[in-house]
Amino acid sequence: MPDLTATAISEWLILHGSDAVTGSDPALDANPVAEPLVLRLGEALDRALDANAGGTEAFLGDERMTPHLRAVMVGMGSPRRLRMMHWLVDSEFEDPRAIIEGIENAPGEATGDGLRPWLLDLQRRELLETVFDSDRINMLLAACRRASGSGETT
């Protein structure tokens, strides 16, 4: 996972659109002991992915690991959590969705309850972006104009 420093996260959010981020509860981000560990985790995940993507995918998808990964992600603030999700999806993994579903549905602690609403909100935003895509709406408007025999462009 790329750099998880506050500066890198801010730059990433500017590049990828900060309006996708909901509220933040940065329990780990504000903890002076935990934050350096989270940064080291990001670096270690990047190295592991570079060295052995298949092994890293198997490790992250292992049912013994997903509750721990979920607990760490729930403790991250929304920007880091969003960056971690992007890293999982954008990785060289064969099935990143399986890892994400494993994180969401891992047995054990109820920390998944903190991640699930956030994931659902991201999925809802993705759906709304698709539904309200301007190209799609313009295509429907053009079809309506053709169907009505109107030459209007507005």
Segment 104-124 mean pLDDT: 63
The per-residue pLDDT for range 82-97, each reduced to its tens digit, is 888 889 888 889 998 8
The per-residue pLDDT for range 8-25, each reduced to its tens digit, is 776 766 666 544 444 444
Q: Are 99 and 61 in contact (CB under 8 A)?
A: yes
The phi and psi torsions of 15 (rounded to 5 degrees) equal: -70, -40
pLDDT reported for residue 53:
93
SS (H, E, C) the chain: CCCCCHHHHHHHHHHHCHHHCCCCCCCCCCCCCHHHHHHHHHHHHHHHHHHCHHHHHHHHHCCCCHHHHHHHHHHCCHHHHHHHHHHHHHCCCCCHHHHHHHHHHCCCCCCHHHHHHHHHHHHHHHHHHHHCCHHHHHHHHHHHHHHHCCCCCC
Residue 154: count other Cβ atoms within 10 Å of its Cβ: 4
CA atoms within 13 A on the CB side of 31: 15
Q: Which residue has the higher pLDDT, 96 or 30?
A: 96
Could you identify the residue written with the tokens 């292992």? 62
